[in-house]
Amino acid sequence: MSAPRPKVMHIVLALNVGGLERLLANLSGCQAMRDFDQLVCCLDELGTLAPEIERNGAKVFIERRGPGFDFQLVFRLARLLRGEHVAAVHTHALDPMLYGALAARLAGVPVRVHTQHSAFLDSCSRADRWKFQLASRSFTHLIAVSEQTRQGMLRSGASRKRTHTILNGIQPRRNMRDITTRKSARLVIGSVGRLSPEKGIDRLIRAFAALHSRYPAAALHIVGDGPERSSLEALARELCVAASVKFLGRSSDVFSALQMMDIFVLPSLTEGIPLALLEGMSARLPVIATAVGGVPEVVVDGVSGMLIPPNDVPALTNALGRLMADSAVRESLAKNAVARVEQQFSLAAMANKYRSIYQESDARCRSLAA
């Protein structure tokens, strides 16, 4: 009889459509993870990606946290970790990191991993930075999704010895429509992401509106939802482009939405290594992105996309106008973008690096049992 597979418990707030949640869905269905049983515990709600992750074979739990710091949640999580005989805990985001650190210690989990998915630490409050510094001491592995994010973690007190970079990756899409086949006179500009202030979608709407008189047939598709949706819709009306701007809401099939686009824009004010950007590049789209966080580690300016300063509507307008006017530039950037993602940002490469960390849990558990 074969030995049971080691169990890895991911701790998150929820499994709604977003970058880190999408990463979990990708990992749970990845061949490199077949040596482990994947479990996910949500602290707020299950979210729309929970069914997909369960179909991939992962077991999903929910342990709802109460208001303030919920000390009872720490004990419930520890009980869950012991009951499931978890060998490795993997937390995502600051609050799951805090609860996961304490619960994993109580439960005696030998391998404790935290992934920092954004450059949040460079702009967070002093209290949040203190929380990160305190919690980080309990983790055997601290993972940054970009080198820029790793530097921010080190500045916030993370151990240099235990902090490493694992670049985000996606599964390349071989069946995407080629950029050269998009011959419609109606250019479609698009963006994917949570509709929150740090995503900068209002800048994109303003840039699109500035070009509307020159390209009246063009459309802007915005995929995602969030607290800024109503104000962004009002902005589109105020700028007289509401008829050309479509808010498509959340989508579990982002690639279908990407196939309708001609240009992908990521106007964020802060990022790690955004999966939405990788997906746009993999979809054979020319991309314009702000040079924040780990984005310059993904996009080679002028080769695999165009980089602009954050919060710079004139720069975004100029870059967007250039791509809308020149199909040859669009085609060149799109082809180079696909090649860059396939060579540097594959799901398999990312998963194998996490796999090597999780394998330590099996070795440590065998050592403890000996």
> How many of the other CB atoms lie within 10 Å of CB of 113?
24
- What phi, psi does 138 have (nearest 5°)? -90, -5
Amino acid identity for residue 170 in this structure: I
- What phi, psi does 359 have (nearest 5°)? -60, -25
Predicted confidence at residue 163, as pLDDT, reads 97
Predicted confidence at residue 363, as pLDDT, reads 62
Report the alpha-carbon angle 323-324-326, nearest 5: 60
* 9, HSE (Cβ side, Cα atoms, 13 Å): 32
Predicted confidence at residue 183, as pLDDT, reads 52
Residue ranges and CATH numbers for the domains of the chain are 7-169+346-369 (3.40.50.2000), 179-344 (3.40.50.2000)
Report the alpha-carbon angle 84-87-89, nearest 5: 90
Q: What is the token pair recorded at 315? A: 């720069």
Digitized pLDDT (tens) for each residue of the chain, 370 residues in all = 467 889 999 999 999 878 888 889 888 888 788 889 999 999 999 998 999 999 999 999 999 999 999 999 999 999 999 999 999 999 999 999 999 999 999 999 999 999 998 877 777 888 889 999 999 999 999 999 999 999 999 999 999 999 999 999 998 776 555 555 555 568 999 999 999 999 999 999 999 999 999 999 999 999 999 999 999 999 999 999 999 999 999 887 888 899 999 999 999 998 889 999 999 999 999 999 999 989 999 999 999 999 999 999 999 999 999 999 999 999 999 999 999 999 999 999 999 999 999 987 656 655 544 4
Report how far residue 324's alpha carbon sits from residue 202's, in angstroms, rounded to the nearest whole number. Answer: 19
Parallel/antiparallel/unpaired status of strands 188-192 and 245-249: unpaired
Closest CA to 147 of 344, 351, 281, 279: 344
Predicted confidence at residue 369, as pLDDT, reads 46
Strand partners, 306: 288
Give residues with Cβ within 8 angstroms of 161, minimum separation 6.
Answer: none
Q: Per DSSP, which regions of 243-316 are E strands?
A: 245-249, 263-266, 287-290, 306-308
Are 210 and 320 a contacting pair, CB within 8 Å? no
Report how far residue 227's alpha carbon sits from residue 169's, in angstroms, rounded to the nearest whole number. Answer: 28
Q: Per DSSP, which regions of the chain are E strands?
A: 7-12, 37-42, 59-62, 88-92, 111-116, 141-144, 163-165, 188-192, 219-223, 245-249, 263-266, 287-290, 306-308
SS in 3 state form for 101-119? HHHHHHHCCCEEEEEECCC
Is residue 21 classed as helix, strand or coil in its secondary structure? helix
Amino acid identity for residue 146 in this structure: S
Report how far residue 216's alpha carbon sits from residue 205's, in angstroms, rounded to the nearest whole number. Answer: 14
Rounded to a whole number of angstroms, the distance between the first and last alpha carbons of the chain is 19
Predicted confidence at residue 30, as pLDDT, reads 86
Q: What is the token pair recorded at 203? A: 């800048």
Predicted confidence at residue 2, as pLDDT, reads 61
DSSP letter (8 states) at residue 176:
P
Give residues with Cβ within 8 angstroms of 44, minimum separation 6.
Answer: 13, 14, 64, 65
Amino acid identity for residue 78 in this structure: A
Report how far residue 328's alpha carbon sits from residue 355's, in angstroms, rounded to the nearest whole number. Answer: 41
* 221, HSE (Cβ side, Cα atoms, 13 Å): 20
Q: Dihedral of CA 166/167/171/174: which sign? A: negative
Predicted confidence at residue 234, as pLDDT, reads 98
Give residues with Cβ within 8 angstroms of 198, minimum separation 6.
Answer: 268, 269, 270
